[in-house]
Structure 1
Amino acid sequence: MGSRPALALLDILRGEGVDRVFGNPGTTELPFLAALSEAEDAVVSMADGYARGTGRPAFVSLHIAAGLANGLIGLLNARRSRTPLVVMAGQQDRRHLLQDPMLSGDVVGLAAPAVEATYDVQHAHDLPLALRRAFAPAVRPPAGPVFLSVPTDLLVEDTEIEAPARTPAPAPGPAPGLERAALLLGDAARPAIVAGDGVGREDALGALVRTAEACGAPVHHQPMADCLNFPTTHPLHAGMLPPRHDAIRTALAPYDTVLIAGAYAFTPHHYTPGPALSPGRTVVQLDSDPDEIGRNFPADTGLVGALAPSLHRLAVLLRDRVPDHTAKARVLRAGERHSAERDRAESAARAAYSRAPLAPWAAAHAVARGLPPDAVVVEEAVTVGLLLRRMVRLDRPGGYTHTVGGGLGWGIGAAVGRALAEPGRPVVAALGDGSSMFGLQGLWSAARQGAPVLFVVMSNGAYRTVQDTYEAMGGKGVCPGTDLGPLDFTQVAAFFGVDAVRAESATHLRELVSGAGKLTAPLLVDVPLRP
């Protein structure tokens, strides 16, 4: 039996595993909201965090052209981070659309650059099929947001429509050509691996560990990684590659063969001359997205397939090619080298402990050492985040979340979404003060939802990453417009109904972070930093 358009929409969403709708109510979405009762950047960021935490696509409802414009930052972040979202915006009633009614606009044209695909639905009977089609590219590699425009009058048409049954997609298998990859890596004298965000997205972390151990290859996270793609506690973990081509070349110079697994380009932060990979190095590239193979650097062999089964198979092949004593000796040497590097960073951070305002090293160390077991770190701290990445000791998939998209204001909403997705798992959001200012409205949602998130705002009174880049590019003095001055985030939190406290020392900050798992409501920690 058929359903009215709005109810059919809900039937499709349930069938796709959607159990929450993220959005702001608006007049053009009233028929959809009415159906919900019967059955803009912050909301997109919340959906982003929720999708990552659940492993399912999230659904977002935005309010016409203005709401879509507000949500574009979140959509750009989701596209770069390859987060599966299906986003619907209500279009004005078609019966007066030609008269340019308030808030109307070319929503499809506005959304197109920020999403994987768009659907302009003009007939009620097309809505179910368009929704089914939208969910497919949202989850299929490369994955990302997909947009639908749905006029408000379409949802109340006096017609009954059938929702087509969902057809499960077959599970992707291992890549062809793994024997060639095993030959190149197995014959290498100094192999290395770059762990891309595809590893984290596809739950292939364990398989990558086995591959690395099978040949004794040190593993670097891709620059500004969005996920935990390799355990930072493992002796083969060599840290994150810096987000500059010259620095990547230096970091990979000691190796003769590099496996790049699931890495989306190398996302440099600012320009430096030359390629990320110097000529003469053997490159094996594995990705589930065929468009990534050879896209930004040449590969000696390119492999397309699901990462987890491909890496499982590659580990087996490597064990037959690399003697066990050779692999173990490499692991031991790498572990000694990486342990010494971590000890130096640990000593530098402890030496910086003091009362507030804190040194950035001390703040990063206090957060990292205070994290409860099984915690999720949602990081949008930019400069302090680079230090935090060197200090965290995480080994469970999903333990670190970031967006390489770079659109500020993502972190607060994403942390709320993660808390909703994984109730009972501690969520600690490490945020910059400049980043937080773009997404403060997310604190209202945190309070409203009772999300037990610990928001840690690193307050250095500046857009520090812009100042650092300005200096690196030869700028003189302080970069204009980057000085925020003193900000009191405890007052901001109180305005939105969130409890807050100011960290008095690094030890105090560490204690606050260690209590994140006991929270029953959101708490904001204002951390004054030294310039």
Structure 2
Amino acid sequence: MGQRPALAVLDILRDEGVDRIFGNPGTTELPFLAALAQAEDAPAYVLGVHEGSVVAMADGYARATRRPAFVSLHIAAGLANGLIGLLNARRSRTPLVVTAGQQDRRHLQQDPMLSGDLIGLAASAVKATYDIQHARDLPLALRRAFALAQRPPAGPVFLSIPMDLLQEDTELEVPPRTPAPPLGPAPGIERAAVLLGSAARPAIVAGDGVAREDALGALVRTAETCGAVVHHQPMADALDFPTTHPLYAGMLPPRHDAVRAALAPYDTVLIAGAHAFTPHHYTPGPALPPGLTVLQLDSDPDEIGRNFPAETGLVGALAPSLHRLADLLRDRVPEHTAKARILRAGEHHATERERAESAARAAYSPAPLAPWAAAHAVASGLPRDAVVVEEAITVGLLLRRHVRLERPGSYTHTVGGGLGWGIGAAVGRSLAEPDRPVVAVLGDGCTLFGLQGLWSAARQNTPVLFVVMNNGVYRTLQDTYKAMGVEGTCPGTELGPLDFTQAARFFGVEAVRAESADHLRELVAGASDLTGPLLVDVPLRE
């Protein structure tokens, strides 16, 4: 039996596993809201008071649930406000299905208020767009959107739906869902095993595809079988390898010269699920040192050889491919060789970690805190099963050196770089995993960009600990300005004194100021006992 257009949309959402709709509605969404109100088992509507927060919440939710989240935006203005989140989602490969209501087609040629070129606005920020002009096309396009959002490389897909189309008096057939066949192990694993197994100094770069495809355990097994040192990809969005593991060598810096130097000691590297070493600051020369044998594994065929040549390119699902590689390596690398490599790496990395931790502990003081002391206090206070949502820019780099995380899904960042993501992403993460403490570590500039997300945190009563690193400046810009060799103060980078406890209370969120590094560590340790959101304002010094 057919369904009216708006009801057909709800039918597909339920069938695709959507249990929450993230949105900020306007007049063009009223037909959809009317259908939502009439349906008995409709998804819950999660309201955000700014579209940037709406998309960020959906981003955090999708990453935790491992399925596409659904976003409803309002016409051209709402879509424009949400673009920053869509750019982040595309860079981070977060599967989202995003709709915006277009103005009524019967007067669209008259340039009515709030109308605009929705497809043109969205096109550069999403994987694909659908401009729905006929009700009969809506169900099929929506099915395609959910499939495409998940297909490697995952990302947001956008649909423009005119307001009057949802009100049409027509019956639509809803096509059944077609499950996508799972990818298997990559062909050519045998060749990769020969190259990696014969390496004298093997290394692995763990990309964010490892976390997205739940392949962390498989990567650990591969690394241990050959004793390969493991680096996170530059500005990793997730926990792709346990930071407690003796083979863990830290994150590669986001500059080609630094990546080249970090990988110079190795003769062979396996790059698994990493997006082409996207740099932040330009430096001349390639990312990889000369003479390095490169093996590249990814579920997205476009990644193979994209920015650097590979001796062997492997396309397949990461987890089964890595398990197969580990099986083959067991016959090629003697167990005593692998264990000796693990022991040497563990001793070296433990010495480096202890040096960094000693320096951070020595900097403990009353507020304002040294940035490295604040980062260490957060890392050492984290509850065992915590999720870290990090958008702290400079302090975030320090935090990565100190966190000791093992459980998949324990670290979330966005390589997209669009500020204001962290608060909303933490709310979405908490909605998806209410039994895990969520600690959002935020820069003050990032917090200002996404402050409206605190409204949703209060209304949803999500037990998130928001830790705001408050130095009153755009520190990363000032540091880069100095590195450029320019004398004087960089204009436009001073935020001045900010009291985030007042901002939090305005939105209905309890707040406290950290009085010392020990106090900050205690507050973070208490994240698992929260029954609602709490913001911690952390004053920082140079």
State whether structure 2 residue 118 is matched by structure 1 residue 118. Answer: no
1:364 maps to: 375
State whether structure 2 residue 350 is matched by structure 1 residue 314. Answer: no
How far residue 2 of structure 1 moved from its aligned partner, in angstroms, is 0.8
State whether structure 2 residue 283 is matched by structure 1 residue 258. Answer: no
Alignment of 1:378-417 (within 5 A): 378-417=389-428
Counterpart of 1:509, as a letter, is L
* Mapped contact 2:261–2:289 kept (Cα < 8 A): no
Write out the 4+ residue segments of structure 1 that deviate beyond 3 Å after TM superposition. none
How far residue 313 of structure 1 moved from its aligned partner, in angstroms, is 0.3
Aligned to 1:515, the other structure's residue is in SS state helix
Aligned to 1:258, the other structure's residue is in SS state strand
2:258 maps to: 247
The 2-side partners of 1:473 and 1:274 are apart by: 18
Counterpart of 1:80, as a letter, is R
The 2-side partners of 1:473 and 1:414 are apart by: 33
How far residue 269 of structure 1 moved from its aligned partner, in angstroms, is 1.1
The 1-side partners of 2:419 and 2:289 are apart by: 33
1:463 maps to: 474
How far residue 267 of structure 1 moved from its aligned partner, in angstroms, is 1.7
Alignment of 1:155-174 (within 5 A): 155-174=166-185
Aligned to 1:41, the other structure's residue is in SS state helix
State whether structure 2 residue 150 is matched by structure 1 residue 136. Answer: no
The 2-side partners of 1:383 and 1:267 are apart by: 18
The 2-side partners of 1:353 and 1:495 are apart by: 31
2:441 maps to: 430
C-alpha distance after superposition, 1:166-221 (max 9, x if no partner): 01111110000000000000000000000000001100000000000010000000
1:25 maps to: 25
Aligned to 1:390, the other structure's residue is in SS state helix
1:10 maps to: 10
How far residue 5 of structure 1 moved from its aligned partner, in angstroms, is 0.3
How far residue 373 of structure 1 moved from its aligned partner, in angstroms, is 1.2
C-alpha distance after superposition, 1:328-350 (max 9, x if no partner): 00000000000000000110100
Alignment of 1:317-332 (within 5 A): 317-332=328-343
Q: Name the TM-score, length of structure 1 as normaliser.
A: 1.00
Match among 353, 357, 367 for residue 346 of structure 1: 357
How far residue 475 of structure 1 moved from its aligned partner, in angstroms, is 2.2
1:274 maps to: 285
Consecutive unaligned residues in structure 2, runs of 5 or more: 40-50
2:525 maps to: 514
The 2-side partners of 1:316 and 1:460 are apart by: 50
Match among 43, 49, 68 for residue 54 of structure 2: 43
The 1-side partners of 2:142 and 2:319 are apart by: 29
How far residue 428 of structure 1 moved from its aligned partner, in angstroms, is 0.1
State whether structure 2 residue 203 is matched by structure 1 residue 180. Answer: no
The 1-side partners of 2:413 and 2:490 are apart by: 26
The 1-side partners of 2:485 and 2:14 are apart by: 54
Identity rate, percent? 84
2:48 maps to: none
Counterpart of 1:418, as a letter, is R
1:212 maps to: 223
The 1-side partners of 2:347 and 2:130 are apart by: 54
The 1-side partners of 2:484 and 2:282 are apart by: 9
How far residue 279 of structure 1 moved from its aligned partner, in angstroms, is 1.9
Counterpart of 1:364, as a letter, is A
Q: What number of residue pairs does the alignment pair up?
A: 531
The 1-side partners of 2:2 and 2:202 are apart by: 59
State whether structure 2 residue 97 is matched by structure 1 residue 86. Answer: yes
The 1-side partners of 2:482 and 2:286 are apart by: 23
The 1-side partners of 2:276 and 2:53 are apart by: 27
How far residue 82 of structure 1 moved from its aligned partner, in angstroms, is 0.1
State whether structure 2 residue 388 is matched by structure 1 residue 377. Answer: yes
The 2-side partners of 1:287 and 1:196 are apart by: 9
Counterpart of 1:481, as a letter, is G
Bigger mean CA deviation after superposition, 59-68 or 464-473: 464-473
Aligned to 2:502, the other structure's residue is in SS state helix
Counterpart of 1:285, as a letter, is Q
Match among 231, 235, 239 for residue 224 of structure 1: 235
The 1-side partners of 2:514 and 2:295 are apart by: 47
2:165 maps to: 154
2:302 maps to: 291
Match among 432, 447, 451 for residue 440 of structure 1: 451
RMSD: 0.6
C-alpha distance after superposition, 1:376-399 (max 9, x if no partner): 000000100000000000000000
Aligned to 2:204, the other structure's residue is in SS state strand
The 2-side partners of 1:88 and 1:238 are apart by: 42
The 1-side partners of 2:386 and 2:486 are apart by: 39
Counterpart of 2:449, as a letter, is F
